[in-house]
Structure 1
Amino acid sequence: MTETAARPHRAYFAATGSRYFPVLVGLFVGVMLISNVTASRPAVFFGSWLTFDVGPLHVNGLPTDGAFFLFPLAYVLGDVISEVYGFRAMRRVIALGFAILLVASASLWLADHLPMSDPVTEAQTHELQTAFHTVSGVIPQILLAGLAGYLVGEFLNSYVLVRMKERSGEHRLWARLLGSTVVGEAADTIVFCAIAAPALGFTTFSSFASYTVVGFVWKVLVEVVVMPVTYAVCGWLKRKEPTYGPTELSATNR
């Protein structure tokens, strides 16, 4: 009996020394960096007409933040990296992203606290400095929420995907993508919203619940919609990576 027949569900992964891996890392970190800045902008869709009650929950529009259109891409990229390169590789990517987010936040904070011009003699320059503070000033509560949600969500997303792959091998990619996204996005959304909601103005139970549910449902829907693209990218990378093949060690422990 051949090794393939004896272990039909063996998980395959690639080494990270190729030219494709740095591109994925750059895209992932870039998406996280941009999303961390735009998340400080609260938004409410359909607030003028979408009003209804579900038990004790009062819905008045769909509350979200400025990262809603880009942030789900981070989980798509995380899925691709985890599926092709394994959990160990994704752990390094998450750690790198965390470090860069901290550097970016520290840089914005430092720039925001530099000496300002005189508001009387240099009114235009002072106005620009005030605008910078309004747009880019670091809000500690949102920074903490973003970092905490990022760490919890991305680790769970990658871990669940790779563990499922170790059980099913190359089969049922759709189940891994959907299952890991549900777990990771749920943790990320709950952690982030629980910390950031008051700073964004979602101070009632109804607004907090709507903000959390809308964020989670939206992110999962994006994953489902782009799943054919995720399939195509994973398949292309697996064919292009010369080292993609069986590994002797568990991808979650090596």
Structure 2
Amino acid sequence: MDSEPIKVSGEDVRQTRFRYYDLVMAAFVAILLLSGIIGAGKVATVAGFTFGAGILFFPISYVIGDVLTEVYGYARARRVIWAGFAALIFAAFMSWAIVAMPPADSWSGQEAYETVFGQVWRIAIASIIAFWAGEFVNSYVMAKMKVWTQGRMLWSRTIGSTVVGQAVDSLLFYPIAFLGVWETSDVILVMVTNWALKVGWEAVLTPVTYRVVGFLKKREGVEIFDTDTDFSPFAGREARKV
């Protein structure tokens, strides 16, 4: 039977190898990429409400980001954010390169391919910048609130960090992607609406977050508090291996 997790600082476990960390990282990057590639290209209408289909799944990456910071600390969450950032850049480049290749005369799928995978570069850049900034803010707020609350009230950290992180994400993405293309009032309306939906998703998924966090903490055996962590996005001491 797994014992109760031991309270430690981020520095105490800097060289520790965890059992499930790599799997959580893979889940984060996979959901991030798939929600952008599959979900971003479709606008759906459900019960009279029209929205980008990707919004149903992209917030899950924020939930996993919360789990990473809560269970493994800010330093390891930082590595995952950089991995997701690099994956988004590669996905944008790969989409552009493949769409740009001249199609064979016998292949008739170029138009459909361009519709699904042809990205407007302004939107792609906005998405990458907004993700990077929003995720780091989300993880920072999550880690700081854990220290402030002494590890209590997980719900306050998951929702509070998402309120701030998604606000930064939305404040960057929508103006960079659409200001000057849409009416300013439409940019503001969509920005606020999607921010509220993402925060709402986080609240709805709180019971799931509690279960996943509880499972991972017991299996990993530690409760990490970022009391001595360098919160710079560019620090890399945690990357050294035993």
Letter in 2 for 1:137: G
Within 1, Cα distance between the matches of 2:187 and 2:50? Answer: 9
Q: CA deviation at 1:47?
A: 9.7
Q: What's the TM-score once normalised by structure 2's chain length?
A: 0.82
Within 1, Cα distance between the matches of 2:46 and 2:189? Answer: 13
Partner of 1:100: 87
Q: CA distance change for structure 1 residues 220 and 249 in 2, over 3 Å: closer, same or farther?
A: closer
1:142 pairs with 2:123? yes
Q: Is the 8 A contact 2:134 2:166 kept in 1?
A: yes
Superposed, which structure 2 residues align to 1:64-79 within 5 Å? Answer: 64-79=51-66
Range 142-151 or range 10-19, more displaced: 10-19
1:167 pairs with 2:148? yes
Q: CA deviation at 1:220?
A: 0.6
Q: Is the 8 A contact 2:147 2:226 kept in 1?
A: no
Within 2, Cα distance between the matches of 1:158 and 1:170? Answer: 15
Partner of 2:234: none
Give the gaps of 5 or more residues in structure 2. Answer: 1-6, 232-236, 238-242
Within 2, Cα distance between the matches of 1:43 and 1:78? Answer: 26
**Percent of counterpart pairs with the same letter?**
34
Report 1 or 2 for greater relative contact order, CA contacts < 8 Å, sequence distance ≥ 6: 2
SS at match of 1:238: helix
Task: Encode CA deviations 1:85-108: one digit per residue, 9 max, x unaligned.
Answer: 111111110111111111122111
Q: CA deviation at 1:38?
A: 3.7
Partner of 2:133: 152
1:132 pairs with 2:120? no
Q: CA deviation at 1:168?
A: 2.1
Q: CA deviation at 1:41?
A: 2.5
1:250 pairs with 2:228? yes
Q: Is the 8 A contact 1:63 1:207 kept in 2?
A: no
Within 2, Cα distance between the matches of 1:64 and 1:38? Answer: 14
Letter in 1 for 2:85: F
Superposed, which structure 2 residues align to 1:1-254 within 5 Å? Answer: 17-38=17-38, 40-41=40-41, 43=43, 45=45, 64-118=51-105, 122=106, 125=107, 127-197=108-178, 203-242=182-221, 244-245=222-223, 250-253=228-231
Within 1, Cα distance between the matches of 2:112 and 2:156? Answer: 46
SS at match of 2:103: coil
Letter in 2 for 1:114: M
Q: CA deviation at 1:184?
A: 0.2
Q: CA deviation at 1:31?
A: 0.9
Kindly report the root-mean-square deviation, in angstroms, between the aligned alpha carbons of the 2 structures: 2.5
Within 1, Cα distance between the matches of 2:134 and 2:39? Answer: 16
Give the gaps of 5 or more residues in structure 1. Answer: 1-9, 49-61
SS at match of 1:68: helix
Compare CA radii of gyration and give the structure with the larger one.
1
Q: CA deviation at 1:158?
A: 0.1
